[in-house]
Amino acid sequence: MSEDAVARGTSGFSFVRERLLLGLAPKEYLRSLLTPANVLITAILAAGIPCIVLRFTKGLGAVTNLSQAYPWGLWVAFDVISGVALAAGGYTVACAVFIFGQKLYLPVLRAAILTGFLGYVLVLVGLIVDLGQPWRLPYQFFLTPGTTAVMYEVGWCVFLYLIVLALEFAPAALEWLGLDKLRRILGKMTIAIIVLGVTLSTLHQSSLGAFFLMAPGKLHPLWYSPYLPVFFFVSSITAGIGMVIFESTVSHRAFQDQLDPKAHVDLDGITLGLSRAGALVLFAYFFIRLQGLAGSGRWDLLATGWGAWWALEMLGFILLPSLLFAMAVRRADVKLARAAAVVTVLGVLMNRFNVSLIAFNWTLPNRYVPAAAEVLISLTIVTLGVVVFRWIVNRMPVLAGHLDQRGSR
């Protein structure tokens, strides 16, 4: 064997061992995977993947409670509509850092973009599982473009934004692979990519709300409003802020060994800065939602059970986290800020479920309740996302720092 071949062989071995197996021998690596968390993950995947196989071999009817009256169920409400909102952290932080110049948030940008990217990949996976004939997904772009349909716009936006998120995250992958030249070329396109990403997000986050404008008779009047696109867009910002606080806290605890001790990341300062923004956006969102009710004039519905549910969403999951965020900023209380972030994320989930599932078809006598297999498949998709997130963060420079942050622009 020539010296070159030996060198190549050694380099290939070193790549697999150092980059993929975290510097461990294959046996050691496999042994390191035996953790309680991985046992739980394996159990979820072992139960969920057969359900996904069943869905594709036996059809939607075999695993779901979907019907002609309820063609959109848990997967659309949770994996697609909620998933897009919860993945909004990427464009929220990217906009703050690169457009508004808030460099303080640079240390959490990559993790936010990775969460956004994986979030949108999961939206796509959820959509493929949910669509009766998923292979027809590209038809809307090329074969049967419905240029006046909201779905057409959402489809294009999500498709393009997925590419943009891949490009936004690519620098971390290129640094990991040691492709510095390509990374520098991509670095020069940063601002253009970020602006495109923010524009596409503004369009489709609001358009997801616009879906429901065509169903004024089906959506309960307390949630239906001509301002639904505005509601969805503004609340996606709150979801993004909440998710970035939540995700950065969890990541910095779970992946402490990934942090650069010399970077001196002021995570508390970042959390409190995001909390200030969260307080203001939620405060405005509360009044915008009130305007929606004022426009319909259906104040009488507040005295019903639906009214109590609506008031719980408004007071408990919009106004309350706004005030909690404000108190956290006033007291510089990071724990309170994290609690407010969790309430905010739950509030956005609650809103998306209300609009797309709970208050939708509210007059029908037989309500849809998701089948156990639907819940399991959703859980499987989220678990896959967590596994991929962990795999990437353990290998690529996601938390260890951004090149720009390290001053080597």
Residues lying near other proteins in the complex (CB under 8 A) are found at 103-104, 262, 264, 266, 268-269, 276, 279-280, 283-284, 287, 290-291, 294-295, 297, 326, 329-335, 407, 409
What is the C-alpha separation between 341 and 268, in angstroms, rounded? 14
Q: Which is nearer to other proteins, 13 or 287 (CB)?
A: 287
Q: Which is nearer to other proteins, 203 or 319 (CB)?
A: 319
What is the C-alpha separation between 29 and 394, in angstroms, rounded? 13
Question: Which of 235, 271, 246 is CA-nearest to residue 347?
Answer: 235
- DSSP 8-state assignment for residue 34: -
Shortest Å distance, C-beta 274 to other proteins = 13
Shortest Å distance, C-beta 334 to other proteins = 6
Shortest Å distance, C-beta 312 to other proteins = 20
Q: Which is nearer to other proteins, 122 or 318 (CB)?
A: 318
**314, 281 in Cβ contact below 8 A?**
no
Shortest Å distance, C-beta 276 to other proteins = 6
**105, 255 in Cβ contact below 8 A?**
no
Shortest Å distance, C-beta 289 to other proteins = 10
Shortest Å distance, C-beta 226 to other proteins = 12
Q: Which is nearer to other proteins, 86 or 319 (CB)?
A: 319
**113, 90 in Cβ contact below 8 A?**
yes
Burial class (CB in 10 A: 0-12, 13-18, 19+), 74: buried
Q: Which is nearer to other proteins, 27 or 253 (CB)?
A: 253
Q: Which is nearer to other proteins, 216 or 269 (CB)?
A: 269
Q: Which is nearer to other proteins, 191 or 372 (CB)?
A: 191
Q: Which residue has the tokens 């779901």?
A: 64
CB-based contacts of 72, cutoff 8 Å, min separation 6: 66, 356, 357, 360
- DSSP 8-state assignment for residue 103: G
Q: What is the dihedral of CA 179, 183, 184, 190, to 10 degrees?
A: 180
- CA angle, 399 then 18 then 391, to 5°: 45
Helices (H), strands (E): how many in the chain?
18, 0
Shortest Å distance, C-beta 270 to other proteins = 10
Q: Which is nearer to other proteins, 204 or 338 (CB)?
A: 338
Shortest Å distance, C-beta 268 to other proteins = 7
